[in-house]
Structure 1
């Protein structure tokens, strides 16, 4: 399934959306339950949710689906999951997408449990052709008000009274989605922090670091390794560079990389070589960051104007 196929199927589902189903994940046992939300409120939420998805993505000309390993700060993007190691939460969307329309599963026992044990919400939308897309929402404290935490008030006829029931607010945000066999990440930071993907990033970065070490391009990777283990932003960028950089992909020689870096004033003042000039000396955090920038091929020159640029977010153009 190509990225264009994903966009096309997603647009078709949203343009002809004929049904919504919402499930709760119970924090007590990590099981998936039918939310049993009344249909009128669910239909109203569906209209709002679909409209927001269309505005941000399928009806937006800037909508793109880059690889998660190449994630940057661009807007209107859903990042394609391109890692081998998967998180546990993917199984919920697997189950929901494969579920037959008439499949009956247990209902969430709101009378006995209230809403406080809901860990996450799974939303499934269905198009007129039967295709589905599902979304995973993590429940934050701002989305859930429970009667046992603080005192909340609401209106009742002509008075303001204390709330005695739990309140859950469904919103249009989501961490990741699944369409077909493809996982699309919307909130990268939450995907790492809330769902534990940061551990996979750190492990993958450590693995890639051994490849850099074997090339002999750097004299000592101790400082670099410490940054990988300590800073998720640094580890994430290194994984992005190693999986997507043309510098790595084309297997440029150490001599070519060093010669290029030292020929550019931008890098010459920010990177340091060993005494014999055969390796980079990364004995500072700033040099580690600048070395990553070099490997990411961020230094670009416009063929039109001859101006030099640092481009952190970029897509390869067709030759």
Structure 2
């Protein structure tokens, strides 16, 4: 499925509201394997959570500064919701997506299920042909409880009321907010918190595989003396994303050959030229240093720019094609 626009995603949320579809709460547990267990919500709590999850998600999508772009084109800009456009799937995410199939799951039992095994929580809407799932990582501080062996003298959970009465809460408290780290819309993954996807799920393996393929594409230029230096940087997730981006989007790779690139470097001002070092033949780039590799990726990203208006050279990271971008 193609990447949806913000307006289409909001329209799908509105469709859920129009059909009075109630959301369902699930807990994602991780022990020796992943488990999804359904939370037993009373009607009032379910109605409140349904309303607030939809409102918070719509509010996020309605922010003017938020843009949607393919994950393979990820750069350092903020305020981006990334659409997962890699061919390789992430098993953990596919498992979470299974709740969109409306398959029955076991119920979560706070007395018998170990809350320390909780990886995150899921709020899912299944409405005819529209399915939206929101996922949020669980943090230990979300739970306020007495640990095993503690007595009332060790700790007490209290609540503050409008009547200024302070009363004890006998049960443990689970604090849940309406934000999300990523959402799945009709099977398509949209990532708000990229760091969480990289650190808590198996995406890093997918990224490294794609980055290796991207280095192979770059190597076809036959302009690098030893491509292994670039390949070794793939373990750095941030740099791996940049390699994937230039291999997927680079106009330099699409329109320029080896001679074009060498000519550009040699005819540039000293600030740019001094960032690069050639071998003795003058035809191969030496990428032994981290600085040289960063400069090379910057060049492939076409980020060394010149302004005709100010007669000034710039380094520009995030660029949008004016032919398809509204100012």
TM-score category by the smaller chain? 0.7 to 0.9
Count of matched residue positions in the alignment of Structure 1 and Structure 2: 310
Change (3 A) 1:255 1:261: same
Report the equivalent of 1:197: 203
Correspondent of 1:187 among 193, 200, 210: 193
Hey, what does 2:279 align to over in structure 1? 274
Structure 1 distance, partners of 2:283, 2:159, is 77
The 1:130–1:211 alpha-carbon spacing in structure 2 relative to 1, beyond 3 Å, is closer
Report the Cα distance in structure 2 between the residues aligned to 1:186 and 1:270, rounded to whole angstroms: 34
Aligned to 1:264: 268
Q: Which residue of 2 aligns with 1:11?
A: 10
The match for 2:38 is: 34
Cα shift readout 1:189-221 (whole Å, capped 9, x = no counterpart)? 110111121122122222322333343211123
8 A Cα contact 1:146 1:166, kept in partner: yes
Tell whether 2:293 aligns with 1:294. no
Equivalent residue of 2:115, what SS? coil
**Does structure 2 retain, via aligned residues, the 8 Å contact 1:116–1:144?**
no
2:94 matched to which residue of 1?
91
Across the aligned residues of Structure 1 and Structure 2, the Cα RMSD in angstroms comes to 2.7
Q: Deviations over 1:3-42 (max 9, x none)?
A: 4x44333212333523211111222342222111333233
Secondary structure, counterpart of 2:41 in structure 1: coil
Relative to the length of structure 1, the TM-score reads: 0.85
In structure 2, what is the equivalent of residue 53 of structure 1? Answer: 57
Measure, in 2, the Cα distance between the counterparts of 1:152 and 1:85: 48
Residue in structure 2 matching 1:255, options 259, 262, 266? 259
Provide the C-alpha distance between the structure 2 equivalents of 1:37 and 1:262, rounded to a whole number of angstroms.
67
Residue 316 in structure 1 maps to residue 316 in structure 2: no
Give the 3 Å change call, closer, same or farther, for CA 121–146 of structure 1 in structure 2.
same
- Match of 1:318, SS state, is helix
8 Å Cα contact 1:115/1:146 also seen in 2: no
Residues of 2 paired with 1:213 and 1:13: CA distance?
Answer: 43
Query: Which whole-Å CA distance do the structure 1 matches of 2:268 and 2:167 have between them?
Result: 68
**TM superposition score normalised by structure 2:** 0.83
* Deviation of 1:261 (Å): 2.2
